[in-house]
């Protein structure tokens, strides 16, 4: 009993700390983009949508998961399992969809810069965001209705329906991942070609603009890479678990799942590390300067 109590206590503390870090970091991103006019760009609106998904992971998914982990005999555990899984699938699919949208944005910014402002504007970005969240919500509800069972031996099990499992893995993870990797490989090829030709550009402002686009693309590619690093082990286990007659240990699946959720904490640190204007915005918010005067039009450096 004491061991269970200690384990429960440590798990609750760990989940609480992770939830606070996720919510704090992503709130900084959300407030920065909404408040400062300099950050009102189509690319940043996509980052805002991604930050909202990450924030909701810390606010909704982690607490439900902690309750499921520590309460093995709760009367409403089956209902809680479906609620947790609905939010989990919804927010994971939303994150992947937003990352796909960001890759499309970067493709036009780097590969077709002359058409970028026509192809990627605020209206188009809003449509992309709405489509991402709507499709993700529809799929999450479908999974909750058809694909989640409360197994007596395996706990809260996702994708018991094999046909739904295949559809979920293909459409939620594998197709978006292959699409993003293909787009970023194309971007990398074009960026390398631009890097060789940039020396011939005499206009300093044009040269600076190209460097900024390349840096933004590199940063967002790192965001995508870290996302895939965190989530690929879990999705691979989810893929091979039915094929191995569910022989993969539950503890290993759970560890990979928590590793995936921890990704929601990392993106704000990436933005702060690579983007000086996000660092400036974070400092102004944390220090309370935005409450001392009108800083909406402040120049972020």
Tell me the per-residue pLDDT of 56-80, one tens digit each, with 9 for 90 and over.
999 999 888 887 777 655 566 677 7
Is residue 128 within 8 Å of 46, Cβ to Cβ? yes
Residue 169 has pLDDT above 90, yes or no: no
Q: Which distant-in-sequence residues (6+ apart) come within 8 Å of 252 by Cβ?
A: 237
Give CA–CA dist 99/96, Å, rounded.
5
Q: Which two tokens stand for residue 4?
A: 């269970």
Query: 42: helix, coil or strand?
Result: helix
Residue 248 has pLDDT above 90, yes or no: no
Residue 284 has pLDDT above 80, yes or no: yes
Residue 230 has pLDDT above 60, yes or no: yes
- Which residue segments constitute the domains of the chain, with CATH numbers given? 25-286 (1.20.1070.10)
Of 26, 35, 20, 7, the residue nearest 289 (C-alpha): 35
**For the segment 175-187, what is each residue's pLDDT rounded down to a tens digit?**
999 999 999 989 8
Is residue 147 within 8 Å of 159, Cβ to Cβ? yes
Residues listed for the chain? 301
DSSP H or E stretch at residue 150: strand 148-151
b (16+ CB within 10 A) / e for 67-94: bbbbeeeeeebeebbbbbbbbbbbbbbb
Of 23-27, 48-52, 61-65, 227-231, the poorest mean pLDDT is in 61-65
Give CA–CA dist 268/279, Å, rounded.
10
DSSP H or E stretch at residue 110: helix 77-111
Evaluated on CA atoms 118, 119, 120, 122, the torsion sign reads: positive
Residue 83 has pLDDT above 80, yes or no: yes
> Of the ranges 65-74, 86-95, 142-151, which is most confident?
86-95
């Amino acid at each position: 009993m004491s061991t269970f109590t200690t384990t429960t206590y440590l798990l609750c503390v760990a989940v609480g700390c992770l939830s606070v870090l996720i919510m704090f970091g992503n709130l900084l991103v959300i407030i920065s983009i909404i408040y400062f006019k300099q950050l009102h760009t189509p690319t940043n609106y996509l980052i805002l949508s991604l930050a909202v998904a990450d924030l909701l992971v810390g606010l909704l998914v982690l607490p439900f998961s902690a309750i499921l982990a520590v309460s093995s005999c709760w009367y409403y555990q089956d209902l809680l399992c479906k609620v947790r899984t609905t939010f989990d699938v919804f927010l994971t699919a939303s994150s992947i969809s937003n990352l796909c949208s960001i890759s499309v944005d970067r493709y036009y910014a780097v590969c077709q810069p002359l058409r970028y402002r026509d192809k990627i504007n605020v209206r188009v970005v809003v449509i992309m965001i709405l489509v991402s969240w709507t499709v993700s919500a529809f799929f999450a509800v479908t999974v909750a209705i058809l694909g989640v069972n409360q197994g007596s031996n395996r706990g809260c099990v996702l994708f018991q329906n094999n046909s739904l499992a295949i559809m979920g893995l293909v459409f939620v993870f594998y197709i978006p991942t292959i699409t993003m990797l293909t787009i970023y490989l194309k971007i990398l090829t074009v960026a390398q070609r631009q890097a060789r030709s940039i020396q011939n550009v005499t206009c300093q402002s044009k040269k600076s603009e190209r460097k900024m686009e390349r840096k933004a693309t590199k940063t967002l590619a790192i965001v995508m890479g870290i996302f895939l690093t965190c989530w690929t082990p879990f999705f691979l286990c989810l893929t091979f678990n039915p094929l191995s007659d569910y022989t993969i240990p539950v503890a290993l699946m759970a560890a990979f799942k928590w590793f995936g959720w921890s990704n929601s904490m990392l993106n704000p640190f990436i933005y702060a590390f690579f983007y000086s204007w996000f660092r400036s915005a974070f400092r102004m918010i944390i220090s309370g300067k935005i409450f001392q005067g009108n800083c909406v039009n402040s120049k972020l450096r």
